[in-house]
Chains A and B, each alone.
Chain A
Amino acid sequence: MKNLKATLLSFIGLSAVLLAGCNDKLTVLDPKGPQAQRQADDTMLLITLMGGIVITVVAILIFMLFKYRASKQSADYEPPHIHGHWLVETIMIGIPVIIVIFLSVVSVKSNYIVENVPEGYEDQEPLVIYASSSDWKWHFSYPEQGIETVNYVYIPANRPVEFKLYSFGPITSFWIPQLGGQKYAMSDMVTTLHLAADNPGEFWGRNANFSGRGTAENIFDVKAMTAKEFDEWVTEVHETADPITEEKFDELLEPGHLGKSTYTGTHLEFSPAPHHEHHDDEAAEDHSSHE
């Protein structure tokens, strides 16, 4: 049983070393927007609750192993035949049932929260950005502003953003961890991801789903800025960038990696998004006017 103590100690020691290894906050637990905040809160709740369960199981296990090991007992001890006990079995079914009911309530609430316009931003008109992936790039189209970017996206802080996701190839997953969890982008339909940034700042985003050879570098930069800065940037793009043409866009779609680039106009004009919209139950209804 010395072994067990040693294991426990080394386990605690190891956890300490591992946690010390990451000085900064883990990305997912360092949210910068309401959706990511909700997911981080859920995660912390789960870590606490689940940690409690693991500790309970380990404690019972250690108790049993200490108390009932053969070396502690007389040679002629015969363990009894025990079928079970109604109270014990009720408790060991009942407590998990209660935990699962509690988590189900949290889970359902969170689902509706992350699938809707971010909390606190309901009264604002969301900015619609089409984010489409091609091997292995991200194209961001701003129909409202009439501009398009590759591999980076600027968004106004303090305003809800509605990302319309689809793909020009394999299934990809659009993910900006500090603003909120991911969603798939597929070639035959458009999915919607609601995000918002509480403050100006810079984040990273990536395709999290395996989509072939270039997956690892299928990344993009995200910058949240004040509304004023955002408007200035839009004006600047209109003054300096070239328009996107069908020819140019076809070139961009070629498999490979590209740096960042900026265009006026959007590819949606000559290469529209898949018409099949995957409705998020009731939530999508309100925003259908944006298409």
Chain B
Amino acid sequence: MELDAGMQGRDLVERLEAAATLLERTLGWLEERQRFLSGEVERISATVESSRREEELVVKLAEAERQLAELLAAGTATVGDGFPKALQPLRRTLPSATAEMLAKSGIGEGAVDVKTLDAAMVGLSLEQRIAVKSQLRRAGVMV
């Protein structure tokens, strides 16, 4: 009997505490609402307020600009033969058979002169010459 009364008392206290918390929240909301309706603003600074999202975007933009600058710098830098560094990977797209054939004729890694190329391809058919030339153009090594 006493146990039941004690439990009921605790339950009642908990319910009262919950109700008090709810009332406090409501009061806070009402005060905020009242301030809004009255047009009072506690503090204003004439500084541009930047959100966290904006700050993140600014950081990302700075990083993108840095990478772009690096790529542009790499793109304009050249190696010994005057070929842009950034385009060097294209040269590796030349089929190995073509590279071997050119190597046999004394044409190496550097830019290929058309006359030298024609001389090297004397033994090839017209179709094969056209194919080699188009491969070299795609690789960007024909001058």
The answer to whether A and B assemble together is no
